Structure 1
């Protein structure tokens, strides 16, 4: 049977499964927050394309000008997520989704497509080795090894903002910048709050709830960024063990 995909629209967003591992018959706070965030982004040209199955097989990308990341560039698409998980791996779905995005970019006269990577693959970033097969190359870096990967159609390149490369803040306590694009984030925030309260760990939470805040962030960011003692630590979502590893450095 040929694979079929659906793009999320204003008309189908309330009915369609949003492709994350979360499974619940009842409304899930993180999933519903994601629906609200995504609904506001669709009119900006944000694309969420998914396999027609209750699976983790999807791509999510947007015009760089309206993408909630501290990256600048003219006429690019930015890929937030390209994910194929579990039994759906190895069936060519990732290839289909990537080629759809690249074809869409070319048809719309984009200058190219970009995404965040790192010298060492990060758990919550899309597979940069896979992107490399399509010609994505490193066009900008941060001092601690994060990379901006781009496939340029016209020789131009996007860049991290200068603020994103600072990766330092004045606040010394555990500090997290986050938005609600990922359905896992609301639950992670509550878990971290409870853990820090129980263990008397000072915590500062900063919700990124506007495009301007996202573009002005002092670190690389896909939907999450963590600082401790003023230093940027990771874009990975944290559990209790992750918090302790950072605090114990």
Structure 2
């Protein structure tokens, strides 16, 4: 039987958070992620992981306090469900998702939802996997879809109107980001150095509050790229990937 751990205020400092394990260059990002999580735990944030060294976890919280431009009542929102490497194909993703579904039902929630794409994109879940559990498409913006598993008919989650813009007024390359992902901080430093060395105007807009997240001008889970005012992708960029987009 697999053993799982739920992070809480008492164990979060001693437990790894699955991503960027043992990689010193990402330690700042890990620290910032943990600080972000400490505040979110009070909102009912759940981070459940396999008791093992690897990327095997699910992360979710009530949609009302989730840092995404999505609205709904009495739903859980899944930020991330990730099972990587040798742990894939062993039913662990199923166990993690079933735990979240059961947890939501025991809390008398109206359902549970998550962000996916019509075609697989980085840092987003597999649409077909969720559909196997009864999740259905309830809203769409471009290639992105909001999936929901309803337990009752009280409400249906949806993308906020501001997220449907997928545009900004700034023509320069602009990146919106949060500290929800531990890989972000290192890439921001790398991109900043690259832009300065090559005299490229690059803007960073940090989403550091629930209000900013709910009012984001695009789909965002933890990172969003804009160029010449248009949304480009949700891919977390390094310097090489950034160069290719210019």
TM-score, normalized by length of structure 1? 0.95
- After superposition, where does 1:219-234 map in structure 2 within 5 Å? 219-234=218-233
Residue-by-residue CA offset, 1:179-231 (whole Å, 9 max, x unaligned): 11111000011111111112221111011100000000000010111111001
Residue-by-residue CA offset, 1:76-127 (whole Å, 9 max, x unaligned): 0000000000011111110100000000011111111111111111011122
> Within 2, Cα distance between the matches of 1:161 and 1:42?
24
The match for 1:197 is 196
Q: Please report how far the alpha carbon of residue 154 of structure 1 lies from its aligned counterpart in structure 2 after TM superposition.
A: 1.1
The match for 1:154 is 152
Q: Please report how far the alpha carbon of residue 24 of structure 1 lies from its aligned counterpart in structure 2 after TM superposition.
A: 3.9
- Tell me how large the CA RMSD over aligned residues is: 1.4
The match for 2:22 is 23
> Within 1, Cα distance between the matches of 2:224 and 2:10?
32
Assess if the C-alpha contact under 8 Å between 2:118 and 2:127 holds in 1. no
The total of aligned residue pairs comes to 245
> Within 2, Cα distance between the matches of 1:102 and 1:153?
10
The match for 2:81 is 82
Structure 2 unaligned segments of length 5 or more: list them. Answer: none
Q: Please report how far the alpha carbon of residue 235 of structure 1 lies from its aligned counterpart in structure 2 after TM superposition.
A: 1.1
- After superposition, where does 1:63-102 map in structure 2 within 5 Å? 63-102=62-101
> Within 1, Cα distance between the matches of 2:223 and 2:150?
26
Residue-by-residue CA offset, 1:22-45 (whole Å, 9 max, x unaligned): 324799111111110001100110
> Within 2, Cα distance between the matches of 1:28 and 1:237?
17
Assess if the C-alpha contact under 8 Å between 2:114 and 2:147 holds in 1. yes
TM-score, normalized by length of structure 2? 0.96
Structure 1 unaligned segments of length 5 or more: list them. Answer: none
- Are residues 1:55 and 2:79 paired? no
3-state SS of paired residue (1:65): coil
Q: Please report how far the alpha carbon of residue 245 of structure 1 lies from its aligned counterpart in structure 2 after TM superposition.
A: 3.2
> Within 2, Cα distance between the matches of 1:68 and 1:39?
14
User: Cα distance 1:24–1:237, how it changes in 2: closer, same or farther (>3 A)?
Assistant: closer
The match for 2:239 is 240
> Within 1, Cα distance between the matches of 2:221 and 2:231?
14
